[in-house]
């Protein structure tokens, strides 16, 4: 079922609003983006798991149907976790395009694509996490800046040669402080 961004806003529901057993509401499985020219592009996102936190322990519980995709991940020290900021999903927060980074008014007003603000048009978050273990469908990680039960969208292994450029890196002054 196709659902427009307008409908998402009117329902005040996030595309990744969880319901029982890790399944997602069928009317919220497609997100719509409208390009400048008016052409529509649809994306289906299926969570592959969820974040679980208990005390200081953190796991990425990967749903059974995706558990085979973890093969070989235990050979890496770190993993990029892409997840949905489902508890932050409101029409207002999706329409904020400039913020003071880190909530600090001393930092200059900056576009959300130029900082790591949790408010953005699509609430996709990215965290680099240290892997402690991978067993079955569970990835035990050191920490993550996510809420308990946040939907995990994807995992990508950290590869130093690809993920960390050593030359030509430039940062704005507010981030150097």
Question: Of 81 and 120, which is predicted with more confidence?
Answer: 81
Q: Long-range contacts of range 14-19, CB-CB < 8 Å, 24 or more positions apart? A: 14/84, 14/86, 14/89, 14/123, 15/45, 15/84, 15/89, 16/45, 16/47, 16/84, 16/86, 16/89, 16/123, 16/151, 16/153, 17/86, 17/89, 18/47, 18/50, 18/86, 18/149, 18/151
pLDDT at 142 over 70: yes
Residues found in the chain:
177
User: What would the mean pLDDT of 84-107 be, rounded to a whole number?
Assistant: 90
Query: Looking at residue 170, what is its pLDDT?
Result: 86
The widest CA-to-CA distance across the chain, in whole angstroms, is 48
How confident is residue 3, by pLDDT bands cut at 50, 70 and 90? very low
Query: Looking at residue 88, what is its pLDDT?
Result: 83
pLDDT at 100 over 60: yes
Q: Which tens digit of pLDDT belongs to each residue from 105-137?
A: 999 999 999 998 889 898 999 999 999 999 999
Query: Looking at residue 72, what is its pLDDT?
Result: 98
Mapped onto helix, strand or coil, the DSSP state of residue 98 is strand
Query: Looking at residue 169, what is its pLDDT?
Result: 81
């Amino acid at each position: 079922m196709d659902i427009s961004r307008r409908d998402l806003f009117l329902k005040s529901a996030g595309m990744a609003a969880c319901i029982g057993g890790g399944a997602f509401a069928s009317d919220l499985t497609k997100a719509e983006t409208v390009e400048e020219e008016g052409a529509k592009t649809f994306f289906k996102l299926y969570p592959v798991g969820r974040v679980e936190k208990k005390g200081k322990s953190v796991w990425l519980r990967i749903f059974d149907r995706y558990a085979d995709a973890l093969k070989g991940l235990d050979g890496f020290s770190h993993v990029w976790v892409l997840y949905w900021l489902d508890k932050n999903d409101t029409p207002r927060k999706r329409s904020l395009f400039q913020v003071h980074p880190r909530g600090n008014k001393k930092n200059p007003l900056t576009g959300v694509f130029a900082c790591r603000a949790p408010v953005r048009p699509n609430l996709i978050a990215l965290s680099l996490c240290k892997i402690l273990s991978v067993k079955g469908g569970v990835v035990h990680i050191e920490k993550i800046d996510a809420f308990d039960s946040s939907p995990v969208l994807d995992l990508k292994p950290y590869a130093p040669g690809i993920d960390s450029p050593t030359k030509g890196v430039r940062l704005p002054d507010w981030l150097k402080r």
